[in-house]
Chain A
Amino acid sequence: MLENIQLLMLGFASALTLENIMFSVIGIVAGLLVGAMPGVGPVIGVSVLLPVTYHMNPTSAIIMLAALYYSTMYGGSISSILINIPGDAAAVALTLDGYPLAKKGYPGKALSTCFMSSFIGGTIGIFILTISASWLGRVGLSFGPPELALLILLAMTSIGWMLGDDPIPGLLATSLGLCFATVGTDLAQGLLRYTFRFPTFMSGVPFIPLVIGAFGFSQVIELLTSKDDDKALNVKIRSKDLLLTKEEIKRVLPVQIRSGILGCFIGVMPGAGGTTAGFLSYIIEQRIGKNRDKMGTGVIEGCAAPDAANNAAAAGSFAPLLTLGIPGSGTTAVLLGGLMLWGLQPGPLLFTNNKEFVWPVIASFYLVNVLCIIICFSIIPIAVKAINVPNRILGIVIFAICVVGTFSDNNSMFEVWFMMAVGIFCYFLKLSKVPLAPFLLSFVLCPMLEKYTRQAFDMNRGDWGIFVDSTICKAFLGLIVVFVFAPIAKTLITKLKKHEK
């Protein structure tokens, strides 16, 4: 570990050149823009910038791309909070508390909480990566299909916590998410399920149009039909409103730390990614946090948890990429392609043979994180003005963003029509007081659960024993049992106590 820190210091010496700082700033500005635009995720951003870096030296190139990747996480929060449209999939969980907090009149607090959480979560992730990259890579690999299936099942059991007092609307939302998630080619026999003969659906319901439709277009209808306000919020943002008070910092710091650690470990696992990390940390906060009863109504803890987790996951996903050559997410897969183009072979030997490349890159992550938070805090006063735009203007502007953002996902007009159909459907769901969070959570997790369950059964020829073979599986099963039965036991105990009294 000490050697790693020494090498990191040498990395700082190489990374902190004027040239690298300039490339970082370019990457950050591009990333913030890309992240804030719905539909344009980090994958597109990195792919677009990749050819630009061909003529640069590999270290500067990967620093610029990593800066872009990182800052998209920050940028995604901006649109989630201010206009309720997640900039990318990882920012979906943020809409649950970020937008309500902004609507309460605290857009500055919501944004500063998110940026701080991104910074702390990201720093935790990078620190864990620094001291234990190769170990993390091996941990990621020890998660096979049965372990991943149980992890996803663990996340899914938590849907129950989102349902609240009236569980039926939440169950309806969950079932709809499951229905949408089962569209596409079935893994068991290769059957096409519920595709309605549309080629787009052969690989499943596209995520970006679904999210933009569910959050963005349904909100366009709400805004353009709202009769009550032409006035918007008229929030006066004072500079002191942008910063958290000491008490608020005390409230969010533990949330940021635990979500950061959790996010980093989830980021390491192949395929799990920032979206799962964000949702899982939000749900855990809803379960164990001090302010859990108010989650979903616009509290800073609800902003801190998903943002810290998804930034830490972004750092975590570099561990299997650099140490094993296995990309943990779509974006790191594109980065892997870039590394190979520059003649670098990620894997265990990268840390031995290319020290002069790896450590400056890891050092640059710290640098990028610091630059990101400085740039983000400086744009808050401008960004929060969006909240004061009257609904009738905001609605039509969001409509244009939704349409162009969805089209940019796959250059497909079909996806634009699909986004609108989902938006209209979700508008009716909102009218019936059906929450959208369980809908999206089950949509994100179900395909992974189905895939890993199938793979686990195939590995062991249909024997259920594979789900209790490893220690990790046993631990997850134990947690699932606790998570399912704890609320029931708690209710029973409360009732018994009341009865005794």
Chain B
Amino acid sequence: MKKIAPILSIMLGIYWIYGVLVKYPLWHQNGPGGGLFPAFAGTLAIISGVWMLVKFIKDKNDKLVLDKEVLRVIVFTIVCVGLFQFLGMMLTLLLFMFGWLFFVEHIQWKKAVLISAGTVFVLWIVFDIFLKIPVPMGIFEYIFR
């Protein structure tokens, strides 16, 4: 998995250089143009990325496969955030926090309810009530607002 970061960095660097070649000039009228800093950044990203990639390729223990545990967390969090527009932010967080603690971490249900409800309650008080930030409420939007 160590190779993923340098590969992504090289891709980013190439895209940045492409932008400079196609759209952004290095120098414009009196001073640096829009491409000067990106050109420097892209070049540095490619050189250091290639350097690190070569180093990791030599390490035969490292495989370019995503660890199952990592994938599970990423998918879990993406699904959770994806459901905000349907169930609302606070309810989804409550359900997912409880679900993770109870089903994945096998924490006692009473403790899981206490932690998830307590966290969401504090966040709701601070952000929704005190700071008046209109958090997404999903299908409950029309009922409560």
Chain A residues close to B by CB (< 8 Å): 33-34, 37, 40, 44, 48, 168-169, 171-172, 174-176, 178-179, 181-182, 186-189, 191, 193-194, 217, 220-221, 224-225, 227, 392-393, 396-397, 399-401, 403-404, 407-408, 411, 413, 416-417, 420, 424-425, 427-429, 431-432, 434, 446, 450, 453-454, 456-458, 461-462
**Can you sample 13 A-B contacts with CB below 8 Å?**
A33-B130, A37-B127, A172-B48, A176-B9, A176-B12, A182-B16, A189-B25, A191-B23, A194-B19, A217-B77, A446-B37, A446-B41, A457-B30
A129 shortest CB reach to chain B, Å: 29
Contact B89 A188 (CB under 8 A): no
A residues in contact with B48, CB < 8 Å: 168-169, 171-172, 175
**CB-contact partner of A399 in B77, B134, B135, under 8 A:** B77
A residues in contact with B5, CB < 8 Å: 172, 425, 428-429, 431-432, 434
**CB-contact partner of A171 in B8, B38, B44, under 8 A:** B44
A388 shortest CB reach to chain B, Å: 14
A residues in contact with B31, CB < 8 Å: 188, 453-454, 456-458, 462
Known: A191-B24, A458-B30. 6 other contacts (CB 8 A): A175-B42, A182-B38, A392-B101, A407-B135, A432-B2, A446-B41
Contacts A411-B133, A428-B1, A429-B5 given: A462-B44 contact, CB under 8 Å? no
Identity of the chain B residue whose Cβ is nearest the Cβ of A171 in the assembled complex: B48
Contacts A432-B56, A453-B32 given: A172-B6 contact, CB under 8 Å? yes
A314 shortest CB reach to chain B, Å: 21
Contact A194 B6 (CB under 8 A): no
Contact B30 A461 (CB under 8 A): yes
Secondary structure class of chain A's binding surface, majority of residues = helix
A residues in contact with B15, CB < 8 Å: 194
Identity of the chain B residue whose Cβ is nearest the Cβ of A429 in the assembled complex: B5
Distance between Cα atoms of A188 and B34 in the complex (Å): 6
Contacts A400-B97, A417-B81, A424-B74 given: A191-B41 contact, CB under 8 Å? no
B38 shortest CB reach to chain A, Å: 4
Contact B119 A400 (CB under 8 A): yes
Contact A182 B41 (CB under 8 A): yes
Contact B97 A396 (CB under 8 A): yes
Q: Per-position contact with A for B53-80: 1 when CB-CB < 8 Å, else 0? A: 0011000000000010110011001100
B residues in contact with A48, CB < 8 Å: 130-132
A107 shortest CB reach to chain B, Å: 20
Chain B's interface size range is 35 or more
Contact B70 A427 (CB under 8 A): yes
Distance between Cα atoms of A171 and B1 in the complex (Å): 20
Identity of the chain A residue whose Cβ is nearest the Cβ of B82 in the assembled complex: A417
Contact B81 A403 (CB under 8 A): yes
Contact B38 A179 (CB under 8 A): yes
Contact A193 B84 (CB under 8 A): no
B residues in contact with A396, CB < 8 Å: 97, 100-101, 115-116
Contact B19 A420 (CB under 8 A): no
**CB-contact partner of A462 in B29, B55, B69, under 8 A:** B29
Contact A408 B24 (CB under 8 A): no
Contact B81 A168 (CB under 8 A): no
B residues in contact with A401, CB < 8 Å: 119, 123
A111 shortest CB reach to chain B, Å: 20
The total of Cβ contacts below 8 Å across the A-B interface reads 189
B residues in contact with A194, CB < 8 Å: 15-16, 19, 38
B residues in contact with A33, CB < 8 Å: 126, 130
> Which residues in window 3-39 of B have CB below 8 A to A?
3-6, 8-9, 12-13, 15-16, 19, 23-25, 28-34, 37-38
Q: Per-position contact with A for B82-111: 1 when CB-CB < 8 Å, else 0? A: 001100010001000100110001010000
Distance between Cα atoms of A457 and B73 in the complex (Å): 49
Distance between Cα atoms of A446 and B25 in the complex (Å): 18
A252 shortest CB reach to chain B, Å: 32
B residues in contact with A179, CB < 8 Å: 12-13, 16, 38, 41-42, 45
Distance between Cα atoms of A403 and B77 in the complex (Å): 10
| B140 interface hit (Cβ, 8 Å) | no
B20 shortest CB reach to chain A, Å: 10
**CB-contact partner of A40 in B13, B97, B131, under 8 A:** B131
Q: Which of A220, A408, A462 has the most CB of B within 10 A?
A: A408
A residues in contact with B16, CB < 8 Å: 179, 182, 194
Contacts A182-B38, A220-B77, A428-B8 given: A400-B93 contact, CB under 8 Å? yes
B residues in contact with A168, CB < 8 Å: 48, 51-52, 55
Distance between Cα atoms of A169 and B127 in the complex (Å): 38
B70 shortest CB reach to chain A, Å: 5
Identity of the chain A residue whose Cβ is nearest the Cβ of B41 in the assembled complex: A178
Contact B56 A404 (CB under 8 A): no
B39 shortest CB reach to chain A, Å: 9
Identity of the chain B residue whose Cβ is nearest the Cβ of A172 in the assembled complex: B48
Identity of the chain B residue whose Cβ is nearest the Cβ of A459 in the assembled complex: B30
Contact A189 B78 (CB under 8 A): no
Contacts A172-B6, A178-B41, A458-B30 given: A397-B119 contact, CB under 8 Å? yes
Distance between Cα atoms of A169 and B56 in the complex (Å): 12
Contacts A191-B23, A225-B73, A413-B136 given: A403-B89 contact, CB under 8 Å? yes
Distance between Cα atoms of A457 and B36 in the complex (Å): 14
Contact B127 A404 (CB under 8 A): yes
A residues in contact with B44, CB < 8 Å: 171-172, 174-175, 178
Distance between Cα atoms of A456 and B32 in the complex (Å): 10
A residues in contact with B13, CB < 8 Å: 175, 179
B48 shortest CB reach to chain A, Å: 4
Identity of the chain A residue whose Cβ is nearest the Cβ of B132 in the assembled complex: A48
Identity of the chain B residue whose Cβ is nearest the Cβ of A404 in the assembled complex: B123
A434 shortest CB reach to chain B, Å: 6
